[in-house]
Chains A and B, each alone.
Chain A
């Protein structure tokens, strides 16, 4: 069974400071990893994904994530946080072996609060 852990319910950071939202995963075979963001009363918006290749993945709105196979982690990062980045962030995983159901397993989410 696959699983995702987001160990922090909330992350607080001052505007202009770097931010990190943590994610670790467990999956059979090679992982297919995502980050999504959810703003209040909005759906899930895709930020970035990792399939293969460079361990550092760049995505929308200046976000990036680093895949670390030995630590089974996929932490989301941004060099300089904006107040508008405040939202709920979800990490998700599925196995590349799952070509049928393609069910994404999501973490419980991390609320990012960026203070002015």
Chain B
């Protein structure tokens, strides 16, 4: 089944404890992206990647890192999480320029 998977789905952590949220897609998509969803704000792009080893900042990159060592994986890294990073995170992937972006199930992160 073609899909985007994320792990973990739910995570509660404390301020400053490094964490990684994994994202994997099995559709051989070149493009991948991370968004965060906050009430009343819709989704905002954090980082994106156009292909392996090619990543760039989105609208709200502060406090986040990403890597793209393999085509299928695009992990989101929070080196020192803070409470304002409490949010619902979505990974997305797409093929060509006009291709639809397909979203993962989301990761609900709470930083205490």
Smallest beta-carbon distance A66→chain B, Å: 19
The interface-forming segment of B12-20, B62-70, B72-80, B92-100 is B92-100
Is A51's CB within 8 Å of the partner chain B? yes
Is A100's CB within 8 Å of the partner chain B? yes
When distances are taken between beta carbons in the complex, the residues of chain B under 8 Å from A99 are 97
Q: Which of A42, A49, A107 meets B42, CB within 8 Å?
A: A107
Is B43's CB within 8 Å of the partner chain A? yes
Q: Which of B50, B90, B94 meets A43, CB within 8 Å?
A: B90
- Assess the A43–B105 pair: CB atoms within 8 A: yes
Most chain B CB inside 10 Å of its own CB: which residue of A32, A43, A49, A108: A43
Given contacts A103-B58, A103-B59, A104-B101, contact A4 B106 (CB under 8 A): no
Given contacts A102-B33, A103-B58, contact A46 B42 (CB under 8 A): no
The CA of A44 and the CA of B56, in the complex, are separated in Å by 23
When distances are taken between beta carbons in the complex, the residues of chain B under 8 Å from A96 are 98
- Assess the A106–B101 pair: CB atoms within 8 A: no
Smallest beta-carbon distance A61→chain B, Å: 16
Is A90's CB within 8 Å of the partner chain B? yes
A to B contact number (C-beta, < 8 Å)? 58
- Assess the B59–A44 pair: CB atoms within 8 A: no
- Assess the A90–B42 pair: CB atoms within 8 A: yes
Given contacts A32-B98, A100-B50, A102-B97, contact A108 B103 (CB under 8 A): no
What are 27 A-B interface contacts by the 8 Å CB criterion?
A36-B103, A42-B106, A43-B105, A44-B43, A44-B90, A44-B103, A46-B101, A46-B102, A46-B103, A96-B98, A100-B56, A101-B45, A101-B58, A102-B31, A102-B33, A102-B48, A102-B94, A102-B101, A103-B33, A103-B48, A103-B58, A104-B43, A104-B45, A104-B101, A106-B43, A107-B42, A108-B42
